[in-house]
Structure 1
Amino acid sequence: MSKKDNGVGVILAYLNAKNRPYSAQDVFCNLQKQHGLGKTAVVKAVELLAVEGKIKEKTYGKQKIYFADQAQFKDVSDADLKAMDGRISQLNEELQTLSQSCRQLDAELKELNSSLTTQQMISEVGRLKEECSTSRERLEKIKSASNHVTPEEKEKVLKEQNVYVKEWRKRKRLASDMMDTILEGYPKSKKEFLEEVGVETDEDYKAVVPTV
């Protein structure tokens, strides 16, 4: 853009391309960042274009609106308008479908972001296994010394067992849910996943949750 042109060509091309009414302020805001036009230059340019008949000017109260001269555009037939309406309807349907897909993907992403990472789940499973092993050893020691346990102590131990068994079931379910979440996006089978991350299950050791 030359200094002599002062944005006139750019503004004329812009109004013709957009083919909709704009105030001088609108044109300035839309083109200033890209072309570095000053507001005074824009006002002078649209006024000059209107005087030369290259664009049209309408006054509404204290505001002037500028738009492309419609005489330069060819008439559109009813068939063309009908085809355009059909295309607009088709695009609106596609937009709705894509918007719905985006909402679903956003929901899935939010759910995944709130879940534990694979490494966190592996760590949690390992911790739970170690805790279960320690509890099992303690329980076995208590059972082996049953002849030295009073009824009150036995009742206390059974209550603790009930707590640990419930916690075992709860954490087993938690670990299972976490693995199921990972497997939704995992390309291989559950067995291959367990082997790959080194997770050992209760079933591997024939461990069964006691019935309380």
Structure 2
Amino acid sequence: MSKKDNTDSAGVILAYLNAKNRPYSAQDVFCNLQSQHGLGRTAVVKSMELLALEGKIKEKTYGKQKIYFADQAQFKDVNDADLKAMDVRIASLNEEMQALSQSCGQLNAELKELNNSLTREEMVSEIARLRDECSECHKRLDKIKSANNHVTPEEKDKVLKEHNVYVKEWRKRKRLTSDIMDTILEGYPKSKKEFLEEVGVETDEDYKVVLPTI
């Protein structure tokens, strides 16, 4: 290694230790700076020993391991007022962090719910399927009603129960569709009427259809 390379390595390490202002071993510094600056382990060890010898950093020996840290004399003393102000700032930032974490949690929950909801294309397809299903149910119901006395009480009771099930499902799907559209419209720049026309959705109200009572 040339003298210039050695000086460059020492400068990088000195700046790093001063910025972090915490104790590190030579191995720690090598691991932290190797990928970014391409420093070799031997260069790091020699540079840190040189910096300690020149008094630019401090060195402590614990057993077989040497620990290096920035010379604290270069840092300005902090008085009690400054410490109290820092404590207040830290408390304020902690409160802000907790509020942001809570907000992120709520947004993630809303995002998960939206991801589990039907897409616009799925919603249109589901509405079409339900219309066909309702049409078939009406045909069956009309056929049963026109049969007069050919329908047994048991069959009538079965049809009424099925009718109630379909009406409940209709109401549920109508509410679900309304919720989905409301969610979409929150970010949609136009009116609800324009949205319905754009996606080709026809509502019960368009055909003056009223949900039957159960």
> TM-score of the superposition, structure 2-length normalised?
0.83
> Matches of residues 86-105 of structure 1 in structure 2 within 5 Å?
86-105=88-107
Distance 1:108 1:150 in 2: 49
2:53 aligned partner? 51
Distance 1:146 1:31 in 2: 88
In the TM superposition, what whole-angstrom CA distance separates every residue of 1:134-185 from its partner, at most 9, and x where no partner exists?
3223323443x32473436555544443443333333333333333443444
Which of 61, 64, 86 is residue 62 of structure 1 equivalent to? 64
How far did 1:38 drift?
Answer: 1.2
Q: Which runs of 5+ in 2 are unaligned?
A: none
Amino acid at match of 1:194: L
How far did 1:31 drift?
Answer: 0.6
Distance 1:84 1:190 in 2: 51
1:194 aligned partner? 196
Q: Is the 8 A contact 1:56 1:69 kept in 2?
A: yes
Gap change, CA 1:161 and 1:84, over 3 Å in 2: closer
How far did 1:29 drift?
Answer: 1.3
| 3-state secondary structure, aligned to 1:7 | helix
Q: Is the 8 A contact 1:6 1:45 kept in 2?
A: no
Aligned-pair Cα RMSD in Å: 2.6
Q: Which runs of 5+ in 1 are unaligned?
A: none
2:147 aligned partner? 146
Gap change, CA 1:169 and 1:72, over 3 Å in 2: closer
How far did 1:42 drift?
Answer: 1.0
2:173 aligned partner? 171
Corresponding residue pairs, total:
211
> TM-score of the superposition, structure 1-length normalised?
0.83
Distance 2:18 2:86 in 1: 20
